[in-house]
Amino acid sequence: MSIHFYSPVSTTARLRSTLLAALGLALAFGCNEAPPPDPVFVPADFVVEESADGFSVSGAEPGAELALLDASGEEIDRGTVNAAGGLDFFGVPLAEGYVIEETTGLERERAESLSAIATDYSEPGPYTVGVTTLPMADRNIDVFYPAAPGSEAGQPFATYELIAPFPPDVQALILALAPDVNSEVVLPAYRDLPGDSSGPFPMLIFSHGSGGFREAYSQFLANMASHGFVVGSLDVLEFGLLARLGLGPAEEDQRTPQDLVDEALALLEATSDDNGSLLAGTVDAEQVATLGHSAGGRVAFAFLTERPQIKTHVGYATVPFEGTPTLPVLLLLGAEDEAITPATTLAIYDPLAPPKRYVAVGGAGHNSFTDQCEIIYNGNDVIAAAQAIFGLAFPDSLAALARDGCREENMPPSEFWKIAQHYTVAHLKYVFGENSQPLGLETGALALFPEAEIDYRFSTPAPEITAGQVTFFNHCAVDLTLRSSGPALGTLASGRPLSVPISAFNAGAQNAVIAYPNLSADQCSVDFCDGWTALGGIPGTVQRAGFMWEAPNETYAAYCNPNLSGRSLCAVQKNCCGPDMVQDGTFGTTWEFTPSGAADLDYPDISTNYGFGPNTPPNLCPTGGPDDCVSAAANIFFNVPIKWTSNQTCSFTSAATTITGLQCLEASCTDAYQHPTDDKQSSCPSDSGRGYLVEYCPDGQALPTPPG
């Protein structure tokens, strides 16, 4: 029989419809139509049909998310409407008082307004910017700083010329041979204004890259200062432009990155303490960040622990550096960088402990940070002229590096600066404590740059374990949907915790929690399922074999759900990936939890059905060979890295091996319990003080790369 049900009008796009579950009520009316709706309800085109193993909804909007609630308002099940407008609720008999609630409207409304909600640091900040040059022992440092309001009146913008780093005799030679190589760069700053008395402001020490010079990033750094920072731009003569041309300091005169940072810190602090200086009172010497581009990363990461005033490091397309940072780190680069590739940067990023952030911007390259890149991009190829002047001293390798990110096909450098500035400023304000929340660092902030392709990843420290609670924490770069056979959990936002009382889980019974990555169509195309040729037959008709989890099929095992208990949904509807990914609880990396079970113990486990390779597929059948049957349990396999820990001393029940937790970080997943042949179960005391922490993408682990 069919029952039509109704949805209310809602200005919040939240539709709530009662299943007048009155299968008997509908019969009493003698028809398949529900009784007239309450005046606050308007008819919807949804149709509910019973089946032997549950019921289904049709006529819904494809992509909508529907939640099934019982009469008390508790969520029973949740799913996403498929492309045909249908959604099946299996194993759920209709009952009086059930409610279907569509939450998609709220999510869509939230997504569409993210650009208005997210804090935007991509434009110039509230402060007028001054710039001054201070002498160091053997070189100069340019300083950008918040200037006194109104002091810029009648003043021209500061400028510099591209030939500025050269000695006067070389400048004269350049102008004589190729005058077009010189350009005047106009800065969003004013020369030698008095500092803003509302400070002090955090101090940033920046280093250019190999072949660079202190003025080369001035437009980018000046706009950064407009958000309330004092930015010192070092001249690292040891690997700067003059050094690359054979005009650098003699070996005995070269200085270490540590020495340069120490002098810059002392100089800016002393200048701020001088009431007669332009920078009087502007510098907060206890709030410092070190930043560097390319080879300048050696300066940015020069002090990893020895200077307590340094609170964070920022590496722009940084070269690998020595040591392991213990402070928050931001790594940012252009995704088209040919010198420091995303793979190189991820090799630095992945082993780092949280908190850490990674931003790769599509269309940008190695030199996209510099003023010169904007000049080259706009058609003045000063590099060709420089090569003509300096010949072999300006090799092709240096020329290629200078043009990397500045070609016609690249993102305009000035647009890249906005993205780099946004993530840098947001990161710094959060680290320095100006923002108590990571404003501008949420995944939703990507909506601020709709035309850009940005790979944004981050990992934040997990919360402490709390007695009486299970805390779930999502380190993954995307939101997760947590499907649970126990308490309703819903969406776990990226970088966020979710604490659930242990008492909310089914005591003495298994509670299975499966995580699903919520990917967009751009991140994971619906066509990917068709590319998986390792099914071995029509989905749902063959036993899962170990080889299906091996390369190159492992990414499909992570993101596709081709079995679905024989329903063949993946092959038919392609809803295995992205927004159409089936999230019905039939596969995934599973955290299982039985509180207060046998012997008054808790039983937490991680489960997959991976097996150990082509020769030992998981034996899911008690009798016969592993290819003799299809098991519903065969739908469970690795997709999201997971780790759990406890504040109790636990053990493997079979081997009495002491543990405090388990992890499953890749498909082989040796810590996981693999039904039914593996006895890798664990038990923990179930006293009132116990607590658990379940982390997704822990310790810098990332989701498997989507197929395709």
Q: What integer is the mean pLDDT of 293-310?
A: 94
Exposure b/e, 309-347, CB count within 10 A at least 16 = b? ebbbbbbbbbbebeeebebbbbbbbbbbbebbbbebbbe
Q: What integer is the mean pLDDT of 190-202?
A: 97
Q: Please state, in angstroms and rounded to a whole number, the distance separating the CA atoms of residues 188 and 190.
A: 7
- pLDDT band of residue 661 (cuts 50, 70, 90) is confident
Q: What integer is the mean pLDDT of 365-375?
A: 94
| Rounded percentage of the chain residues whose pLDDT exceeds 70 | 67
**Residues 6 or more apart in contact with residue 80 via CB below 8 angstroms:** 63, 64, 65, 66, 87, 575, 579, 580, 581, 582, 583
pLDDT at residue 433 tops 80: yes
The pLDDT assigned to 307 comes to: 93
Helix (H/G/I), strand (E/B), else coil: 260: helix
pLDDT tens per residue, range 89-125: 655 566 656 667 665 443 333 333 333 346 899 999 9
- pLDDT band of residue 10 (cuts 50, 70, 90) is very low
pLDDT at residue 388 tops 80: no
| Beta strand segments in 209-282, E | 230-234
Q: Residues 266, 288: contact at Cβ < 8 Å?
A: no
Q: What integer is the mean pLDDT of 289-311?
A: 95
Q: Residues 695, 475: contact at Cβ < 8 Å?
A: yes
Q: What integer is the mean pLDDT of 227-252?
A: 92
Q: Residues 8, 17: contact at Cβ < 8 Å?
A: yes
Q: Please state, in angstroms and rounded to a whole number, the distance separating the CA atoms of residues 36 and 41.
A: 9
Q: Please state, in angstroms and rounded to a whole number, the distance separating the CA atoms of residues 258 and 299.
A: 7
Helix (H/G/I), strand (E/B), else coil: 49: strand
Strands 41-51 and 2-8 turn out to be: antiparallel
Least confident of 165-179, 185-199, 247-261: 165-179
The helix or strand, by DSSP H or E, that contains position 372, with its residue range, turns out to be: helix 371-377
Helix (H/G/I), strand (E/B), else coil: 531: helix
Helix (H/G/I), strand (E/B), else coil: 287: strand
- pLDDT band of residue 534 (cuts 50, 70, 90) is very low
Q: Please state, in angstroms and rounded to a whole number, the distance separating the CA atoms of residues 675 and 215.
A: 63
Average pLDDT score over the chain: 77
The pLDDT assigned to 226 comes to: 98
Q: Is 75 or 120 the better-scoring residue by pLDDT? A: 120
Q: Please state, in angstroms and rounded to a whole number, the distance separating the CA atoms of residues 263 and 302.
A: 13
510 burial class (0-12, 13-18, 19+ CB within 10 angstroms)?
Answer: middle
pLDDT tens per residue, range 565-580: 333 333 333 445 667 6
Q: Which two tokens stand for residue 177?
A: 């041979």
Q: Which two tokens stand for residue 367?
A: 């030199």
pLDDT at residue 635 tops 80: no
Handedness of CA 237, 243, 249, 254 (dihedral sign): positive
Strands 283-293 and 201-207 turn out to be: parallel
Least confident of 4-13, 508-517, 584-593: 4-13
Q: Is 345 or 476 the better-scoring residue by pLDDT? A: 345
The pLDDT assigned to 689 comes to: 94
pLDDT tens per residue, range 420-431: 999 999 999 999
The pLDDT assigned to 131 comes to: 98
Helix (H/G/I), strand (E/B), else coil: 147: strand
The pLDDT assigned to 70 comes to: 61
Question: With the CA atoms of 663, 665, 667 and 670 taken in that order, what torsion angle do they form, in degrees rounded to the nearest 10?
Answer: -30
pLDDT tens per residue, range 134-163: 999 999 999 999 999 999 999 999 999 988
Apex 667 CA angle, 703 and 527, nearest 5: 60
Q: What integer is the mean pLDDT of 485-510?
A: 90
Q: Residues 191, 132: contact at Cβ < 8 Å?
A: yes
